[in-house]
């Protein structure tokens, strides 16, 4: 996080005054207070232009507590319906895939619906007769806005290609709704070429033909899975950035590395800050600082090309900040 803020400071024009507020959320606060995200903090956060979220999670906290109580709470409370995750293989970065695939796509993951709504429950909890349900909720309203956003992005890119990923042959209720709206909105974008893939087939193509993808639009859970796979084939989760975007501006958008925390190496200066730095670039882009965002991306690209040996977290941050201010 420190390196992300360092690069952010280096990228901003001299006449822009950056004001930051630090919120100590996550495992430490949970252990101290039992709270994850009190409403008062939510209200304070709302007053900011954007949020940069450090990776959260710690094995000392039961699974789901911070995820549902902090990260997902933020995404839902601020209606972050566009979860934007680029999948780009930077020059000089080794992919685990053989050959030298050219990978440059972006996943537009729905962020506020689907199996992530937290709807469901258990019956006869803890017994041998327990039943547990998870309900995926999908609305025409929620799907249409993310699908239209994805079409716009596809329209603005040279290849103008949009792929819908779902599982409409099994999850027929949600799948047919996604498919209907995808086709309907597509009529407004005659220049965009479209196709459809089942999520299982999509994972195959991520590995065998990642070049074929330009923009992908998909549901919350499939997007979660596909973007980790995308990170893997583009050289690792240490480089994957993401934005949780509310395009209306009614609430602050939030930017975060796709990776989780790594409590086992915390404070040792080993973590690669690149994914956070690239998330800062997405944040700047979202706030209208397009040139500054591009400078950060170029700095990362140049830094990755020249990487040899191991550097500390601070060394990587310093190198990127130096390139950005140069």
Ligand X SMILES: CC(C)[C@H](C(=O)O)[C@@H](O)C(=O)O
Q: Which residues bind ligand X (CB under 6 A)?
A: 67, 71-72, 169-170, 200, 224, 258
Q: Which of ligand X, its own copies, none binds 191 (CB below 5-8 Å, type-dependent)?
A: none
Residues shown for the chain: 326
Contact stretch for its own copies (CB under 8 A) within 75-83, 130-138, 248-256, 261-269: 130-138
For residue 104, the cross-strand partners are 88
Q: Which of its own copies, ligand X, none binds 173 (CB below 5-8 Å, type-dependent)?
A: its own copies
Among residues 138, 242, 279, 313, the one that binds its own copies under rule CB under 8 A: 138
58 catalytically annotated: no
Distance (Å, rounded) from C-alpha 7 to C-alpha 321?
5
How many angstroms separate the Cα of 23 from the Cα of each of 28, 141, 286, 311?
A: 12, 33, 21, 28
* Block residue for tokens 């989780």: 260
Distance (Å, rounded) from C-alpha 305 to C-alpha 296?
14
116 catalytically annotated: yes
> In terms of CB distance, is 79 or 303 closer to ligand X?
79
Mark residues 86-115: x for contact with its own copies by CB under 8 A, - for none: --------xxxxx----------------x
* Under rule CB under 8 A, residue 139 binds its own copies: yes
Contacts of 309 (CB under 8 A, 6+ apart): none
Instruction: Specify whether the CB–CB gap between 287 and 253 falls below 8 A.
Output: no
CB-based burial, 119-130: b 16+ in 10 Å, e otherwise: eeeeeeeeeeee
Among residues 2, 16, 201, 291, the one that binds its own copies under rule CB under 8 A: 201
73 catalytically annotated: no
* Under rule CB under 8 A, residue 269 binds its own copies: no
Distance (Å, rounded) from C-alpha 229 to C-alpha 259?
12
Among residues 39, 128, 191, 264, the one that binds its own copies under rule CB under 8 A: 128
24 catalytically annotated: no
SS3 13: coil
Distance (Å, rounded) from C-alpha 243 to C-alpha 212?
23
- Catalogue the active-site residues: 116, 167, 200, 224, 228
**Residue ranges in contact with its own copies by CB under 8 A:** 63-64, 67-68, 72, 94-98, 115-116, 118, 120-122, 124, 126-141, 144, 167-177, 179-180, 199-201, 203-204, 207-208, 221, 224-225, 227-229, 231-233, 236-237
């Amino acid at each position: 996080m420190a390196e992300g803020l360092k690069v952010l400071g280096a990228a901003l024009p001299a006449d822009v005054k950056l004001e930051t507020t630090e919120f100590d959320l996550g495992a430490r606060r949970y252990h101290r207070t039992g709270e994850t995200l009190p409403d008062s903090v939510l209200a304070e956060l709302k007053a900011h232009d954007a949020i940069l979220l450090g990776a959260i999670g710690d094995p000392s906290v039961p699974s789901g507590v911070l995820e549902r109580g902090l990260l997902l709470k933020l995404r839902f409370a601020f209606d972050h319906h566009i979860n934007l995750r680029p999948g780009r293989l930077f020059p000089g970065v080794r992919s685990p895939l053989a050959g030298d695939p050219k990978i440059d796509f972006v996943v537009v993951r729905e962020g506020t619906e689907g199996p992530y709504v937290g709807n469901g429950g258990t019956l006869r909890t803890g017994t041998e007769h327990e039943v547990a349900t998870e309900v995926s909720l999908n609305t025409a309203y929620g799907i249409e806005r993310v699908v239209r956003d994805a079409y716009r992005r596809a329209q603005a890119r040279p290849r103008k290609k949009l792929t819908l990923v779902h599982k409409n042959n099994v999850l027929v209720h949600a799948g047919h709704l996604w498919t209907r709206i995808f086709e309907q909105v597509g009529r407004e974008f005659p220049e965009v070429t479209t196709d459809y893939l089942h999520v299982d087939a999509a994972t195959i193509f991520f590995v065998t033909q990642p070049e074929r993808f330009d923009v992908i639009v998909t549901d919350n859970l499939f997007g979660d899975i596909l973007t980790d796979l995308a990170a893997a084939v583009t050289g690792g989760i240490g480089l994957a950035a993401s934005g949780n975007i509310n395009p209306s501006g009614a609430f602050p958008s939030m930017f975060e590395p796709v990776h989780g925390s790594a409590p086992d190496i915390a404070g040792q200066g080993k973590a690669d800050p690149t994914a956070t730095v690239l998330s800062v670039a997405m944040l700047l882009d979202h706030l209208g600082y397009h040139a500054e965002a591009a400078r950060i991306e170029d700095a990362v690209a140049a830094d990755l090309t020249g990487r040899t040996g191991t550097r500390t977290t601070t060394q990587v941050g310093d190198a990127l900040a130096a390139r950005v201010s140069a």
